[in-house]
Structure 1
């Protein structure tokens, strides 16, 4: 990062500026107390040894300038030298604490990256007759992990896809996402239909969810020219036809999210649509369509579907991701996951 070299040299630059000003001002005006800025700034970037070195330079420079100002040995100057020594020790201590926190943060990030790879492992680029591309934008870059989830499983029964969003954030959301993904990866191999897969997901969530927490999800099963979809309270998939037709895939009846026990008797209805060579379908989480610009306008996903045509799947999805970030004009407020499938 560009700011790191600046922070590294900032203490020396500040002390040099103070020394020049003091020399130009002459003995009449004393700027020596400003030398304490050097060791103070050193705690921002330097290690313990660096902070001590900057402090010693500040003390030595103060003694030289004090001799020039004809105040060396005076009571006030002696107190100033003691103050510089105290600031130096405080800077070294702050540097030690900062380095410890940086090591702890690095350890946490490493664990988070491993957990993210376990939960959201790379999806296959090719799955049966489709090309797959994935994009994930985390609202908390420090954590690098969130409640959005996706998976593509090639089973003896066909290619099955899951895209979901766990209500809430933090460790509870991660635990719930892990339960959903684990149940889906097993159920996708041996359940004869998507209804059975959803039932397995419900059973798994019964063990981990508490209160009013829930998970929205959309599931898909592909054949050569058809795709069967089931949605549990999730945003509608966006279908992009080879002929340029763009539409959201609606469902016969709205179904509740997974995990709401009072509505378990309301079953999601399957929707089957054509999926021929050249067709595409985009699955996404609500962080995409609920992303707002600075004027409060939502991201116009359907109007931006043209970005997904005329190029490779990964590049197309990367262009859409970049356009979403430009629309927001800053960090996204919520995690945003997108999974694009393209019939080859």
Structure 2
């Protein structure tokens, strides 16, 4: 993923777009401080130094009725916000020294007295203490980010290029600015009976949603490898969801109604021009190719965990859809389809993709397609993601 969690996608324009929407791009306080670097060297000391010089210059040109030199107390405060502990301490010492020198060199009628000197010294001490608190908080953020990154790589494992005979690309944007992984999940699993693909969305957010996604992915990786029938894989996922939910109910957690929507694909080896699909309460995928965009057939499958409510036992039957060479299967979670603009209108995914493919057939390539949908979603909602957003595109390798 570019600027977010997930698999990289091509295109520098997408990164610039994420820079415009820092919430979607996961830019935190630690990353913002990296902006105060030039050729690898920190220039965080420059703003407080310029402020110090500006205060002295302003004090020189103002009259005795408007003293400015006492404003040096602001300098350590600015340093505390952007500099390290050592830099802030240096400005905490420098500010009173400059105060003494300026007060001594300026004409006698501009003397300010010892009260402002004590204020400057006390301000420097408080600014240094504030900087210590800030730096420790940023170190905590870095540790938590490392933990979140490890969790992400465990749940959403990196997928090698051409994995399972598929060209693929994915991007994941977490709606929670403090998180790097949520309830969206996806994976590719080559197996004894062809390659299987899964994309899903767990109801709710938080760590319990992440744990549910991890449980379903673990089952998919085993069942997708061994089971000959794609419908059996869906049944295994349904059973895992019920067992996982029951475990949480036994622990007394209020997640007894949790469920997950999912799209399960199978690329059979004996049918290179087709793809099998089971849709479980999810938005049907789109087939995107140089000739246009067409949706998968509607399905009436219920989400994982709610299968007992179906009129017929078990998941819906497997549907086989023709898939020509060069056509890509595009799957998204509701973070895309339910993205709203300022007027409350949903993002017209199929219409926008069809327009893009008509203008440039290369947009159907997985990496280009994922980047286009990502950028279109962010533009449509102005970077205000209401839900975790995943875009996943796969197609057979030529």
* TM-score > 0.5 by shorter chain: yes
> Quick one: which of 243, 261, 266 aligns to 1:216?
261
Residue 53 (structure 2) pairs with residue 16 (structure 1): yes
Whole-angstrom CA distance in 1 between matches of 2:109 and 2:205: 60
CA RMSD of aligned residues (A): 2.4
Aligned length: 340
Task: Name 2:369's counterpart in structure 1.
Answer: 316
- Correspondences of 1:109-148 after superposition (within 5 Å): 109-127=145-163, 130-148=166-184
1:268-311 Cα shifts (integer Å, max 9, x gaps):
23222112322221111111111122222211111122435325
Contact 2:173 2:388 in 1 (8 A): yes
Q: Distance in 1 between matches of 2:125 and 2:65?
A: 30
The one of 285, 300, 311 equivalent to 1:237 is 285
Give, in whole Å, the separation in 2 of the partners of 1:194 and 1:335.
27
- Residues 69/203 of structure 1: CA separation in 2 closer, same or farther (3 Å cut): farther
Q: Of 269, 281, 288, which aligns to 2:317?
A: 269
Residue 394 (structure 2) pairs with residue 341 (structure 1) = yes
Counterpart for residue 259 of structure 1: 305
Cα displacement (A) at 1:57: 1.6
Q: Based on CA coordinates, which of the two structures has the bigger radius of gyration?
A: 1
Could you say which residue in structure 1 is the equivalent of 2:353? 305
- In structure 2, the residue matched to 1:327 is 380
Check conservation: 1:51, 1:91, Cα contact below 8 A.
yes
CA distance in 2 between counterparts of 1:305 and 1:97 reads 48
Residue 170 (structure 1) aligned with residue 206 (structure 2):
yes
State the distance in 2 between where 1:218 and 1:29 align: 70
Quick check: 1:54 aligned with 2:91? yes
Q: For 1:140-166, what per-residue CA distance to the aligned partner results, in whole angstroms no more than 9, with x for missing partners?
A: 354221211111111011111100011
Secondary structure at the residue paired with 2:108? coil
- CA displacement at 1:195 relative to structure 2: 2.1
Mapped contact 2:220–2:233 kept (Cα < 8 A): yes
Instruction: Give 5+ residue unaligned stretches, structure 1.
Output: none
Gaps of 5+ in 2: 1-31, 38-42, 246-254
Residues 52 and 218 of structure 1: CA distance in aligned 2, closer, same or farther (over 3 Å): same
The answer on whether the counterparts of 1:124 and 1:132 sit within 8 Å (CA) in structure 2 is: no
Aligned partner of residue 211 in structure 1, secondary structure = coil
Instruction: Calculate the TM-score normalised by the size of structure 2.
Output: 0.79
- In the alignment, is residue 202 of structure 1 matched against residue 249 of structure 2? no
4+ residue runs over 6 A deviation: none
* Greater displacement, 85-94 / 277-286: 277-286
Task: Give the deviation of 1:326 after TM superposition.
Answer: 2.3
